A and B are shown apart, each in its own frame.
Chain A
Amino acid sequence: MMPARTNRTPSLLAILVGVCGFLWALPMLWVVLLSLKPNEVLRRAGSSWFWPYPLTLEHYETLLRVSQAPQWLLNSFIVAASTTVLTLVLSSFAGYALARIPFRGTAVIFAAMVAGMMIPEQAIFLPLHSMMAGWDLHNTYAALVAPRVAVPFGVLLMAQFFKAVPRELEEAAELDHAGRFKIFLTIMLPLSRPALTTLGIFTFLAAWNDFLWPLVSATDSNMYTITVGLSSLQGNFAQSESLGFLMATAVYASLPMVIVYLFFQHHIVQGVAMAPEK
């Protein structure tokens, strides 16, 4: 920290930050405001929009009653939750094996995973699309979940974590007649809760916000995730009738993520600073 300063007016930089904070929040507030404005007000161009009244929930009503948005939200939940559970299980298993079980080939597999981290999704979404088409798997949850689970980030994260657990703990357990799986289940897993939480949050977030792959794989509007579904509505942006509805859908689409964020803020900020250091 900079040395303590006398309590004068805050520095230029601090004021700048405050202004930026306001500017950053503004678009979000604007969208929420618009989502609550009735259509008549929206039709009238003019600065009357700044005025907070009147407010209405008609757009949200429409959303829940008529649109496909609830179905899309459900799809997003199923995909994100499945991806997260699978990733956590598979990553902790594989990460533990890589970190703690000495066997020939550890280094090779490790290197293969680090290399795999560098493959961007744009390099594989086309062949994946072709493969899934061949297996007739498009427009299924499986097709949306499987490619995400294959990302080696989770394994590397868990391996790094398990490597940091002191060897003595495992040796003591070995001395106490605990077999390897028992050690994993009763000692390693409970210890790794913070890492698993961070990984889980990031995986859920990434799966929820995934755009490119669901766009090409889920072409049936019933299968859209909320992210893709929202983009399909954006073509209607030109019409003022749908502006309020569109804003309501945007708020609706973001709500789960905002809630997750508010609850797990601490974890997210910590994990973000930790992950790229590898």
Chain B
Amino acid sequence: MGRRIRAHREHYQAAALLAPFLVFYGTFLLYPFCKGIWMSLHDWPLLGKPGTEPVFVGIRNYADLVTDTVFWTSLLHTAEFTFMAVPLITATGLALALGLREARGSSAAMRAIFFSSGVFSVTVVTLIWLTVLHPVRGLLGQAFSAMGWSSIDVLADRRFAMPALVLTTLWWSIGLPMALFLAGLQHIHPALYEAAALDHASRWTMFRRITWPGLRRTTWLVIFIEAVMHFQVFGQALLMTRGGPANSTRVLVQYVYESSFRDWRVGYASAAAMVLFTVLITVSLLQFRILRQEDEG
């Protein structure tokens, strides 16, 4: 059997193995993505009702976005949420990982607890925290009344609504950063600490000079993963506050959702979704660049 025939047979085999997945991939990921861009250039009706055809409008949707204050507030709040959540979650994840590394005995059970919160769906999580934060019947309310304080309706208060969402998200997604930091800590060679101990280094010095530099790459990784994840926040805002009070927690994905399913402006919503996509891609590319620098440096 000649070499050319072998190569042909391999092409055939590869095609047979790849085709099923590629069909799904093309139909349900690539094509919709392209179509989404296409839709953002149209006035697009929600369902193909007779008499309502998509109308090509070029970049008018994007132009309208620029002047749409609700869009901008959504974008702003999403950024606000991300900038509050990411540092908090990263720092907490790091602290927990450091603490778990020391408390060797109970660490398995502790790790299980911190990880378990990530197993729940967003609806369960929001329900849990709605219950916890309820001013009268919730854990918070009951605790307050037991101590004689008057309760606060956290989710109806403009000052506390967003922090409440951040807290919920912290509880929900602590597992991944914690695991990443734990893995990163394991990569730091224990001999470094032993040598430092011989050199009479204090624990703080050890952290500053050995642990922290050793975790730089992991920290960047965590920050980027969390940033990308939380910029897409939706369920918490929709289910806990519905974007209120007074629009203070309306986020970008919610805006997209409402534009299409409440206002029936699917083309316009697609344009907003494309803005979201652009932000995420930029962050991802930044992530690649910085992580590559970290690996080389």
Residue ranges of A at the interface with B (Cβ–Cβ < 8 Å): 1-3, 10-11, 13-14, 16-18, 20-21, 24-28, 30-31, 34, 42, 45-47, 49-50, 89-91, 93-94, 96-98, 101-104, 109, 112-113, 116, 118-120, 122-124, 126-131, 133-134, 146-147, 149-152, 155, 180-181, 205, 208-212, 216, 226-228, 230-231, 234, 237, 240, 243, 246-247, 250, 253-254, 257-258, 260-261, 265, 268-269, 272-273, 276
Besides the contacts A14-B103, A24-B174, A258-B116, what 11 more A-B pairs have beta carbons closer than 8 Å?
A3-B190, A11-B102, A17-B103, A93-B17, A98-B18, A120-B276, A123-B274, A130-B35, A149-B24, A260-B119, A273-B179
Residue of B nearest to A94 (CB): B21
In B244-284, the 8 Å CB interface with A consists of 253, 256-257, 260-261, 266, 269-270, 273-274, 276-277, 280-281, 284
Q: How far is the CB of A105 from chain B (nearest CB, A)?
A: 8
Q: Are A96 and B17 in contact (CB under 8 A)?
A: yes
Q: How far is the CB of A124 from chain B (nearest CB, A)?
A: 4
Question: CB-CB < 8 A to B25: which residues of A?
Answer: 113, 116, 150, 152
| Also in contact, A149 and B28, with CB within 8 A (given A13-B95, A273-B179) | yes
Among listed B60-68, B79-87, B136-144, B157-165, interface-contacting one? B136-144
- Docked CA distance A152–B171 (Å): 29
Question: CB-CB < 8 A to B127: which residues of A?
Answer: 31, 230, 234, 237, 246-247, 250
Contact with A along B115-138 (1 / 0, CB 8 A): 111011111101111111000110
| Also in contact, A119 and B145, with CB within 8 A (given A1-B193, A24-B114) | no
Q: Can you list 24 A-B contacts (CB < 8 A)?
A: A13-B98, A13-B102, A21-B113, A27-B128, A27-B129, A30-B131, A31-B128, A42-B137, A47-B145, A49-B137, A93-B21, A101-B10, A112-B30, A123-B273, A123-B276, A127-B270, A147-B28, A149-B28, A211-B121, A226-B121, A247-B127, A250-B128, A269-B111, A273-B179
The interface centre, meaning the residue of A89, A101, A226 with most chain B CB atoms within 10 A of its CB, is A101
Question: CB-CB < 8 A to A46: which residues of B?
Answer: 142, 145
B194 in contact (CB, < 8 A): yes
B20 in contact (CB, < 8 A): yes
Question: CB-CB < 8 A to B29: which residues of A?
Answer: 116, 119, 124, 147, 150-152
Of A112, A119, A134, A254, the contact of B124 (CB 8 Å cutoff): A254
- Docked CA distance A14–B179 (Å): 17
Q: How far is the CB of B18 from chain A (nearest CB, A)?
A: 5
Residue of B nearest to A34 (CB): B131
- Docked CA distance A260–B180 (Å): 21
Q: How far is the CB of A174 from chain B (nearest CB, A)?
A: 11
Q: Are B121 and A24 in contact (CB under 8 A)?
A: no
- Docked CA distance A88–B206 (Å): 45
Q: How far is the CB of A192 from chain B (nearest CB, A)?
A: 14
Q: Are B221 and A2 in contact (CB under 8 A)?
A: no
Q: Are A120 and B277 in contact (CB under 8 A)?
A: yes
Q: Are B24 and A211 in contact (CB under 8 A)?
A: no
| Also in contact, A127 and B36, with CB within 8 A (given A234-B126, A253-B123) | yes
- Docked CA distance A50–B137 (Å): 11
Contact with A along B6-22 (1 / 0, CB 8 A): 01001101100110111
Question: CB-CB < 8 A to A208: which residues of B?
Answer: 121
Question: CB-CB < 8 A to A127: which residues of B?
Answer: 31-33, 35-36, 38-39, 270
Of B48, B96, B142, B239, the contact of A234 (CB 8 Å cutoff): B239
Question: CB-CB < 8 A to B142: which residues of A?
Answer: 46-47, 49-50
Residue of B nearest to A277 (CB): B221
